[in-house]
Structure 1
Amino acid sequence: MLIFRLVVGLLLFAGILCFALYIGTRQPVWRHRGIVIIKWTVIAALGFFAVLILERLALML
């Protein structure tokens, strides 16, 4: 759990850093990279929470 939080935190930080570089340089490649990083971070987090919910449901049955 701690490792997952660390990875998600670092990915969010990397996405924000990409957006900061986009603001500083005005190169669209940094905005695109930031969007891709944030998108896959959110997808991974949703998958992780889905697994946690399914584990809880399995314990209830």
Structure 2
Amino acid sequence: MVLARTLIFLLLLGAIVSFAFFAFTGEQRFKRYGLLILKWVLISGFAFFAVLIVQRLG
């Protein structure tokens, strides 16, 4: 579980850095990267909590 939390945290940090680059430079590619990373943060977060719920049920 520590690995999953660390992965989610690093992905979220990457999205924040990407949005910061977009804010400072105005380049659209950083915004695209940030949204793509954010999408994977949400997917991995939902998968993490799904595993926790299944473990509680079992």
TM-score of the alignment, normalized to the shorter chain, above 0.5? yes
Q: Give the structure 1 partner of residue 27 of structure 2.
A: 27
> Which structure 2 segments of 5+ residues have no match?
none
> Which structure 1 segments of 5+ residues have no match?
none
Normalised to the residue count of structure 1, the TM-score between the two structures is 0.86
Provide the aligned C-alpha RMSD in A: 0.9
Looking at CA atoms only, which structure, 1 or 2, has the larger radius of gyration?
1
- Matches of 2:11 and 2:56, distance apart in 1: 27
* Structure 1 counterpart of 2:12, one-letter code: L
Q: 1:13-49: per-residue Cα shift (whole Å, max 9, x none)?
A: 1000000000111000100100110111111110111
Q: Give the structure 2 partner of residue 46 of structure 1.
A: 46
The aligned length equals 58
Structure possessing the higher relative contact order (Cα contacts under 8 Å, 6 or more residues apart): 2
Percent identity, please.
38
